[in-house]
Amino acid sequence: MLKIPIKTQNITSLRQSDIQKIRQDFPILNTTVHGKPLVYFDNANTPQKPQVVIDSVNDIYTKYYSSVHRGVHCLSEKSTRLFEISRDKVQNFISAKHREEIIFVRGTTEAINLVAQSFARPQLKPDDEILMTTMEHHANIIPWQMVCGQTGAKLKVVPINDNGEIIFEEFIKLLNPRTKLLAVVHVSNSLGTINPIEKMIEAAHQQNIPVLIDGAQAVVHQKVDVRKSDCDFYAFSGHKLYGPSGIGVLYGKKALLEAMPPYQGGGNMISQVTFEKTIYNTLPYKFEAGTPHIAGVIGLGAAIDYIDNIGLDKISRYEKYLLDYATQSMQEFSDIRIIGSAQKKASILSFIFEHIHAHDVGTILDQEGIAIRTGHHCTMPLMARFNVPATARASFAFYNTIEEIDVFLQGLKKIKEVFHV
């Protein structure tokens, strides 16, 4: 088996001693599966949670839980203060200009639906176009199909090459006066491709086309700066960022958000209500109807603190090291085809075994204690582009190790033995 020397000081800035300390922060990594130590390579789906996030959520419910923004008693005031501190943390994490530009939602999916219905739908007319790429997640396809069905607008799709990269020349050709929005994924959950969003945004803005970025897979791997990229909207989920599930963020430029009507009606998003008329609250609360996911927001703040303490630059370099090792090691398997070989990739490795279905690959690896993802990964049009029904996907986080990848490689050999190939 191909071995790559571990030189973490020079390659990753995270030493092996750092990784071992980090692993101790994640209690689930001590789990055994089918009597074998857990090797968790399903991080693109959802990574595991550090103890500080678990503790933050536990503290909320055991020490100071109360609804936010509505009480004058001590518990409510403390919950509200920590809730709004988390908003400040998100603002700093993605370098937003205003804290009012941070809207808490349930996840990336709700964030995109909010923009589709509140921003795009009122403006779209028949034969207007929404532009996206072949590699979009269903969450960045279906909301736009729905709004097109409601308005008569049309979807246009940027093609990709065999490496899983957008064909930039074709993208430029598709931009035209009918294009009313570009909705594009920052990092593909199926391929790992890191799209050149700054170039894409610049090209779109030259024609006054607003841009929404699906950042669910990006914020966990690299520094996101919404002011530098100049995107109009950016969406991501807390659970992808080592935080709780059921919480997410929509960033939007303040002027755009102020002009948009509310997405939902209810408590907290109002300033005054009569039976004749409602005056809506100011940003960001205009888009945060009802009692929010208080524990989720505060837990997300704890997750951001944890990531910031390690450093996304270190995380990115170390995860690239793991990806390079796994990619090079898998080249010894002549019957494995890697799907997605973009020059710029996050730590996502999708592959197929010739003559072996991805679900069988996942099942056998599970018996070895190895958790990977199998299926279409909510990217069925992308699977069709590569003419495959499904892939197996191993995705790496900064708590994973070279030794775990070696266990994974042995698991791939076990699959060959089982199927006599």
Q: What is the DSSP string of 88-143?
A: HHHHHHHT-S-GGGEEEESSHHHHHHHIIIIIITTT--TT-EEEEETT--GGGTHH
Same domain, 181 and 297: yes
pLDDT given at position 162: 97
Q: Is 135 part of any domain?
A: yes
Same domain, 297 and 334: no
**Of 309, 324, 347, which marks where a domain is finished?**
309
pLDDT given at position 12: 52
In the DSSP assignment, the letter for residue 282 is P
The distance of Cα 315 from the centroid of its chain, to the nearest Å, equals 16
Same domain, 336 and 396: yes
pLDDT at 2 over 50: no
Region 171-195 average pLDDT: 98
Same domain, 348 and 364: yes
Instruction: Identify the CATH number of the domain in which residue 265 sits.
Output: 3.40.640.10
The answer to which of 5-14, 219-228, 363-372 has the lowest mean pLDDT is: 5-14
Strand partners, 248: 105, 237
CB-based contact 148:125 (threshold 8 Å): no
Domain residues for the domain of 126 are 54-309
**Of 247, 282, 309, which marks where a domain is finished?**
309
Q: Is 158 part of any domain?
A: yes
pLDDT band at 4 (very low <50, low <70, confident <90, very high): very low
Q: pLDDT tens across 275-330, in order?
A: 999 999 999 999 999 999 999 999 999 999 999 999 999 999 999 999 999 999 99
Same domain, 171 and 212: yes
Instruction: Identify the CATH number of the domain in which residue 362 sits.
Output: 3.90.1150.10
Domains contained in the chain, number: 2
pLDDT given at position 357: 95
Q: Which two tokens stand for residue 103?
A: 């809207």
Same domain, 187 and 291: yes
pLDDT band at 420 (very low <50, low <70, confident <90, very high): confident
CB-based contact 182:212 (threshold 8 Å): yes
pLDDT given at position 6: 37
Q: Is 1 part of any domain?
A: no
Share of the chain above pLDDT 90, in %: 94
pLDDT given at position 70: 83
Q: Is 88 part of any domain?
A: yes
Same domain, 122 and 141: yes
Task: Provide φ and ψ at 278, rounded to 5°.
Answer: -120, 135
- Report the chain's mean pLDDT, rounded to a whole number: 95
Same domain, 113 and 213: yes
pLDDT at 250 over 60: yes
| Strands, E assignment, 153-207 | 154-158, 179-185
CB-based contact 254:99 (threshold 8 Å): no
CA–CA dist 181, 88 (Å, integer): 28
In the DSSP assignment, the letter for residue 175 is -
Residue positions counted in the chain: 421
Q: Is 200 part of any domain?
A: yes
pLDDT given at position 71: 83
Same domain, 329 and 300: no
Q: pLDDT tens across 104-137, in order?
A: 999 999 999 999 999 999 999 999 999 999 999 9
Provide the phi-psi class of 37: left if phi over 0, else alpha when psi is between -120 and 50, else beta: beta
pLDDT band at 16 (very low <50, low <70, confident <90, very high): confident
Q: Is 319 part of any domain?
A: yes
Q: Which two tokens stand for residue 151?
A: 């308005």
Same domain, 297 and 214: yes
pLDDT at 416 over 70: yes
Q: Is 315 part of any domain?
A: yes
Q: Which two tokens stand for residue 201?
A: 């945004």
Q: Is 22 part of any domain?
A: yes
Catalytic residues: 378
Same domain, 255 and 371: no
Q: pLDDT tens across 135-168, in order?
A: 999 999 999 999 999 999 999 999 999 999 999 9
pLDDT band at 17 (very low <50, low <70, confident <90, very high): confident
SS3 label, residue 251: strand
**Of 261, 293, 309, which marks where a domain is finished?**
309
Same domain, 271 and 160: yes
